[in-house]
Amino acid sequence: MTDEAAITYRGAVYPWHCDHMGHMNVMWYVGKFDEATWSLFHLMGISPAYLRDNGRGMAAVDQHIEYKRELKAGDVVTVRSEVLELHDKKIRFRHEMRNDETGEMAAATTLLGVHMDTQARKACPFPPELLARARALAARPAR
């Protein structure tokens, strides 16, 4: 992932994020990645208003997390995100979390999401304008 990838989350690790070993607990990695996901979706036009007004939702159907470096209380992190694959009803994307002080990757996750019709409770195609915005995010050069 390049430095041009969209910044989708910035924040700090607080003491209450840490487990009994003094490291940020896995639940907080997932939480910070979830916030990054909604920021990425917003860049694509998948806003709360879009979801409400159109009876749509997003469902995560697969997630893989790689833990690379420990994070401790006081560390400041940035998550950058990019679209890896885009199909008419699904999207695969990646987040990378880095320690701002060291520049080291702390964790990365790859997710597969499905665009849903909330009334029918089944997958449905993305509208063309959302596909275009997502493709623009996917067009960023890869390392």
Segment 48-75 shows an average pLDDT of 97
Asked whether 116 and 57 are in contact (CB, 8 A), the reply is yes
pLDDT for residue 62: 98
pLDDT for residue 138: 83
- Domain range for residue 54? 6-138
Whether residue 66 lies inside any domain: the answer is yes
For residue 82, count CB atoms less than 10 angstroms from its CB and return exposed for 0-12, middle for 13-18, buried for 19 or more: buried
Which amino acid makes up residue 29? Y
Whether residue 133 lies inside any domain: the answer is yes
Segment 44-71 shows an average pLDDT of 97
Does the pLDDT value for residue 58 go beyond 90?
yes
Confidence of residue 118 (pLDDT cuts 50, 70, 90): very high
Whether residue 22 lies inside any domain: the answer is yes
Whether residue 1 lies inside any domain: the answer is no
CA angle 20, 21, 22 (to 5 degrees): 90
Q: CATH no. for residue 35?
A: 3.10.129.10
Whether residue 112 lies inside any domain: the answer is yes
Q: How many domains does the chain have?
A: 1
pLDDT for residue 142: 45
Whether residue 143 lies inside any domain: the answer is no
Share of the chain above pLDDT 90, in %: 90
Whether residue 85 lies inside any domain: the answer is yes
The whole model's pTM is what? 0.92
pLDDT for residue 140: 56
Q: What's the gap between Cα 85 and its chain centre? A: 14
